[in-house]
Structure 1
Amino acid sequence: MSPRATLLPSLILFFLLSFSIPSPFAADELTVYEVLEEYDSPVGILPKGVVSYELDTSTGKFSVHLNSTCTFTIDSYKLKYKSTITGVITTDKISSLSGIQVRVTRSGDNLEFSVGIASAAFPIDNFYECPQCGCGLDCVNGGQVRKIKMPLVSSI
């Protein structure tokens, strides 16, 4: 048998094995919550239960998909997320946000929620955990209700 005749099956076997065995160096896709952290935004601006997302890293345009709408209250602000939320993300800033009724902006160590002429700023450390649809950040965990730090309320 010629060297070429034995080399070809060996090369085919090598390529088949290379593509079928996962590489330990292959990067796993980040979750949407990890992407938020990469852009220095708190994960708690999105509720638990995101099913998928798309991000164009060259423009910052994103789409986040929930399996249904999601509503909860933070202090006296009712937040309603549609099943698709879109916007543009850059470090420390999310703009052109749609799919949520309340406007959310970051100002230093606070997140500001605005509805019409009223607004309130909450310390950002309230949003290191993701809210849950229905109960938000005041869900019962282990028999205790988590309380958020009080907002700084203003009107425009």
Structure 2
Amino acid sequence: MFSLTRLLLTISLASFIASPPSAAMTESRTVYEALEYYGFPVGLLPKGVRSYELDSATGKFAVYLNKTCSFSIHGYDLKYKTKISGTISPGKIKDLKGIQVKVLLFWVNIIEVIQDGDEIELSVGIASADFAVDNFYESPQCGCGFDCVNLGKRSARFGFKRLIPLLDV
């Protein structure tokens, strides 16, 4: 009798440890820690996420930003809506909504992200692109991506302040 009880307790404990995080566990994690839990780098999301929801049983999630977020990274223009949603599992995010990349003159939705070893594949449906995972170790910042130091220099050079004296005729 004692060994049967001990066996059942061991099995229960092992299944609890091996199960996905419960809702209470995800609430104590940041969204960036949740990404890492599923094997993704934090740089898939910009800095400043307001909140997120994650159903650990299904992997369905929603991430909320205070406002839309745009920036350029490595020659790509990206746009994040105020709500990003999809389904996450280890190494894969599918049914993704709320993130767009500019291809030529058009904005297209990124619908799937797959991590395979040292590569991250971003898919827009009919096409995909592979990137080294180390491009995503840091979260970009809305408005300037990774080049926030030079943002002030660019806006001073091309901004409205420079045009205002031309209007004073």
Pair in the same fold by TM > 0.5: yes
* Residue identity opposite 2:137 in structure 1: Y
Over the matched positions of the two proteins, sequence identity in percent amounts to: 64
Is 2:51–2:63's contact at 8 Å kept on the other side of the alignment? yes
| Higher strand residue share | 1
Q: Secondary structure at the match of 2:46?
A: coil
Unaligned segments of structure 2, at least 5 residues: 1-23, 102-109, 151-169
| Higher helix residue share | 2
Change (3 A) 1:134 1:107: same
Distance 2:125 2:144 in 1: 23
Distance 1:136 1:43 in 2: 14
Correspondence for 1:39:
38
Query: Where in structure 2 are the equivalents of 1:66-105 lying within 5 Å?
Result: 66-102=65-101, 103=110, 104-105=113-114
Unaligned segments of structure 1, at least 5 residues: 1-25, 142-156
TM-score normalised to structure 1 length: 0.66
Deviation at 1:65, TM superposition (A): 0.1
Distance 1:105 1:92 in 2: 6
Correspondence for 2:132:
123
Change (3 A) 1:34 1:87: same
* Residue identity opposite 2:146 in structure 1: L
Correspondence for 2:118:
109
Which of 133, 144, 154 is the equivalent residue of 1:135? 144
TM-score normalised to structure 2 length: 0.61
